[in-house]
Chain A
Amino acid sequence: MLSQIPTYILSGMAITIAVTLVALPMGFVLGLTFALLRVYGGKFLSAIMAAYSTIMRGVPPLVLLFVLYFIISGVINLTPFWAGSLALGVVSSGYQLEIIRGALCSVGSTQMTAARAIGMSRAKAVRYIILPQALRLIIPSWSNEASVVLKDSSLVSALGVAEITRKSQLIGASTYKFLLAFLTAALIYFILVFLTNRLLDYVERKTRIPGFSHHSTL
């Protein structure tokens, strides 16, 4: 009887991972696009992107999730899984916009100047010179955002999506072993976050530019 609790909750893990794998890349694609517009898009687009990020980061994710869910489900008929995942992706895009913007700015305008000086267009300079450096710089903060999205995937349980948190609530209610159920959930989340961060640490090490480091050696 007790052994069925972890098994039942684990069966929600695939959904948790799936929600994350939709929301995180979607937040990245939107965040990257918006960050480029924010930094290189001119006054008007830059102002719009600044407002977008301020709003997205100024509202609790759960509230935003509901708002977006009702907007999305009002327009097209999506399952709670898809509506929830897309909404989380939109929420994450606001944060990823800021992460990527910071990296673009810290690569610096002088690299752009050097690229323009050999005849590159702005678009080529961004693609071949700025982005390859900026994307390396975002990895530590992006690792953080990945764990936030992974944990925030629990919010879609509020829409009835049967991921880890929802399954814990259900099995807790039917067995009255709430503490055990949620401890199991906590452990699974922790392991997922831990592995994600280790993976991204590895990516960071592998992509590090030889001789060029923001890490202090002191």
Chain B
Amino acid sequence: MDKYILEIQNISKRYGGNVILKDISLNVREGDTVVIIGPSGTGKSTLLRCINLLTRIDTGKILLDGKDITTKNVSEDEVRQHVGMVFQNFLLFNHLTALDNVMIGLTKVRKMPANQAKEKAMQELRRVGLADRASHYPGQLSGGQQQRVAIARALAMDPRVMLFDEPTSALDPELIGEVLEVMRKLAEEGMTMLCVTHEMGFAREVADRIIFMEHGVIVEEGPPAELFYRPKFERTREFLWKITELYGKHKDEEKPGDTST
């Protein structure tokens, strides 16, 4: 289990004068679930976008399975097939049914024969519990169902790593659970996952490691138990306090970082 699937080495990214990521380093082992938390505008999404090359880093490098994916001669399209991405706003292809959304990467990118692709796509839809919605269009699905189809679409490419960029932030509260359930199952199945999320309950239960980011740097990282209950930095403590308050999960024994009791 010591093999790193993803190695992020001293990456930086700036837009104009704004430094978004400052010398970030992070290693992820196969099967790990890493949850990234932090205030908005601190580069969490940019970090994910750098990993599947939707954004190019300025300095540093990123290794996927030991291979540098940030050099010039690497095909972006090739890398992205191995790095699944799930977006906040689902971004399903509006003109395609759920099945076709999951299939199209297999047929057009992987060049898989249609019947074989269909079988695999149905399998992925079953995995997210939506086999009965295969012929529905995105506009006919709830937000939660759309996001699960989006997860199936990413899974169909057999990615080495799955990136989740606030997958539940655009959902009505009652729809969040079904998406988290799918993600929890994926983590149990051993999928390597990086999730940017504000779902602290999910983070606490599922994450092997939590990263707290602010102003483009990793402030603190550690296992959930450590980060939630014994954060080293005041900023981490403040952030966790605010976010749990917002989500109404305060119980006396769960006050994050509160060591006075």
Q: Using CB atoms and an 8 Å cutoff, list the residues of chain A in contact with chain B.
A: 110-111, 113-121, 124, 128-129, 132-133, 136, 209-213
Contacts and interface: CB of A to CB of B under 8 A. Distances in A.
Nearest to A212: B139
A118 B154 contact: yes
Interface of B: 52, 54, 76-78, 80-81, 85, 87, 89, 91-95, 104-105, 108-109, 136-141, 153-154, 157
Contacts of A119: 77-78, 80-81, 105, 109, 157
Contacts of A213: 139
A113 B139 contact: no
Given A209-B94, A211-B140, 5 more contacts: A110-B87, A117-B87, A118-B109, A118-B157, A119-B105
Contact of A111 (B52, B91, B105, B108): B91
19 contacts: A113-B54, A113-B91, A114-B87, A116-B76, A117-B54, A117-B80, A118-B105, A118-B153, A119-B77, A119-B78, A119-B105, A119-B157, A120-B108, A120-B109, A128-B104, A209-B139, A210-B140, A211-B136, A211-B139
B91 A114 contact: yes
Contacts of B87: 110, 113-114, 117
B80 A212 contact: no
A118 B80 CA distance: 6
B88 to A, nearest CB: 10
Given A119-B80, A213-B139, A136 B95 contact: yes
A132 B95 contact: yes
B206 to A, nearest CB: 23
B108 A128 contact: yes
B248 to A, nearest CB: 31
Nearest to A124: B108
Contact of B139 (A110, A114, A118, A210): A210
A209 B95 CA distance: 6
A116 B95 contact: no
Contacts of B108: 120, 124, 128
Name which of A111, A114, A115, A121 has the most chain B CB atoms within 10 A of its CB. A114
A34 B140 CA distance: 34
Contacts of B54: 113, 116-117
A136 B94 CA distance: 12
Nearest to B163: A117
Contact of A210 (B77, B85, B137): B137
B137 A209 contact: yes
B94 A111 contact: yes
Contacts of B95: 132-133, 136, 209, 212
Contacts of B136: 211
A58 to B, nearest CB: 35
A211 to B, nearest CB: 3
Contact of A212 (B52, B109, B138, B157): B138
B109 to A, nearest CB: 5
Nearest to B76: A116
A124 B77 CA distance: 11
A124 B91 contact: no
A133 to B, nearest CB: 5
Contacts of B76: 116
Name the 3 nearest CB pairs between A and B, nearest first: A211-B139, A211-B140, A212-B139
A133 B157 contact: no
A131 B6 CA distance: 35
A117 B85 CA distance: 6
B196 to A, nearest CB: 15
A117 B52 contact: yes
A6 B173 CA distance: 68
A132 B101 CA distance: 13
A121 B104 CA distance: 13
Nearest to A107: B94
A33 B157 CA distance: 32
B207 to A, nearest CB: 23
